[in-house]
């Protein structure tokens, strides 16, 4: 039986050499219009997904911003196999939007109890230390009704989706700078594939020159993802571009 899972879109902004942050973790790459495209996409999905490192370093809230949320639900999802994120993180304030932490059987029980008391949902997927992403997608889809999902990083989290081929779209903004540095943060980290033949393949369907004239936004569709999305959403994109080359994305 095919895996039934959410429709997954990865959104990221990186340098020309594929870095989402410098070696000093400076990630200020997006222009205001790129941030608007990010916020617009948040308004079209059921869940935003980030990894533990992103929460530890950036301490985001991951609220919908600027655009009215158009879906019946909005979850912030943290992938944290050992529950490393401090319980004081802002994303664990569930007074406005719910938060789900996906972890493994190796998680810290006392921390899980503290999070549960704050209203955070705990999902166990795998024995650990790595999360069983296939199992996580099944639970998030069947138990929480999540049918569309936006992955915002970081590199290890994006790799977990790429490695398992649970990605339907990659939406990447390229800033016209080169960061360099072996310790800079890559768009996709992890172990990587050993050969080009193993690589996860995509095709570009839209290229847009940002109005700032320093960024190019590209939407890619996966050619061989695994699983069947619960929903084939009509997402589209915020057309705030100076020039657009449409290679096949439907008007939505």
Name beta bridge partners: 101. Answer: 78, 122
pLDDT at 209: 97
Residue 144 has pLDDT above 60, yes or no: yes
Q: Contact at 8 Å (CB) between 236 and 219?
A: no
Does 95 map to a domain? Answer: no
Condensed to tens digits (0 to 9), the pLDDT of residues 27-43 reads 999 999 999 999 999 99
Does 103 map to a domain? Answer: no
pLDDT at 80: 96
Q: Contact at 8 Å (CB) between 185 and 19?
A: yes
Q: Looking at residues 238-246, what average pLDDT do you find? A: 91
Does 151 map to a domain? Answer: yes
Q: Contact at 8 Å (CB) between 69 and 95?
A: no
Among 135, 75, 76, 77, residue whose Cα is nearest residue 105 = 135
Residue 143 has pLDDT above 80, yes or no: yes
- Indicate the SS3 state at residue 17: coil
Does 193 map to a domain? Answer: yes
Q: Looking at residues 197-208, what average pLDDT do you find? A: 95
**CATH code of 75's domain:** 3.40.430.10
Does 117 map to a domain? Answer: no
d(CA 172, CA 103): 27
Q: How many structural domains comprise the chain?
A: 1
Does 121 map to a domain? Answer: no
pLDDT at 251: 40
Domain housing 193: 4-79+143-246
Among 157, 190, 210, residue whose Cα is nearest residue 8 = 157
Mean of the per-residue pLDDT values for the chain?
Answer: 93
Does 182 map to a domain? Answer: yes
pTM of the model: 0.93
Condensed to tens digits (0 to 9), the pLDDT of residues 145-171 reads 999 999 998 899 999 999 999 999 999
pLDDT at 249: 55
Does 175 map to a domain? Answer: yes
């Amino acid at each position: 039986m095919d895996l039934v899972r959410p429709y997954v879109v990865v959104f990221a902004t990186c340098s020309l050499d594929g870095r989402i942050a410098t070696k000093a973790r400076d990630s200020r790459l997006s222009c205001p219009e790129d941030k608007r495209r990010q916020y617009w996409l948040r308004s079209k999905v059921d869940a935003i997904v980030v990894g533990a490192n992103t929460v530890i370093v950036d301490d985001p809230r991951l609220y919908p911003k600027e655009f009215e949320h158009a879906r019946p639900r909005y979850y912030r999802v943290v992938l944290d196999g050992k529950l490393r994120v401090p319980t004081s993180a802002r994303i664990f304030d569930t007074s406005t939007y719910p938060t789900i932490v996906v972890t493994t059987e190796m998680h810290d029980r006392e921390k899980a109890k503290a999070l549960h008391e704050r209203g955070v949902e705990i999902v166990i997927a795998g024995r650990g230390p790595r999360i069983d992403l296939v199992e996580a997608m099944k639970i998030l889809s069947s138990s929480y009704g999540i049918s569309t999902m936006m992955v915002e990083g970081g590199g290890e989290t994006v790799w977990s989706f790429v490695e398992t081929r649970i990605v339907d779209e990659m939406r990447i903004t390229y800033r016209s700078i080169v960061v360099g540095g072996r310790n800079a943060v890559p768009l996709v980290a992890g172990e990587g594939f050993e050969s080009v033949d193993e690589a996860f393949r995509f095709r570009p369907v839209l290229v847009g020159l940002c109005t700032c004239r320093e960024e190019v936004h590209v939407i890619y569709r996966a050619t061989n993802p695994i699983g069947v999305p619960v929903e084939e959403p009509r997402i589209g994109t915020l057309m705030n571009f100076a020039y657009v080359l449409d290679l096949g994305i439907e008007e939505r």
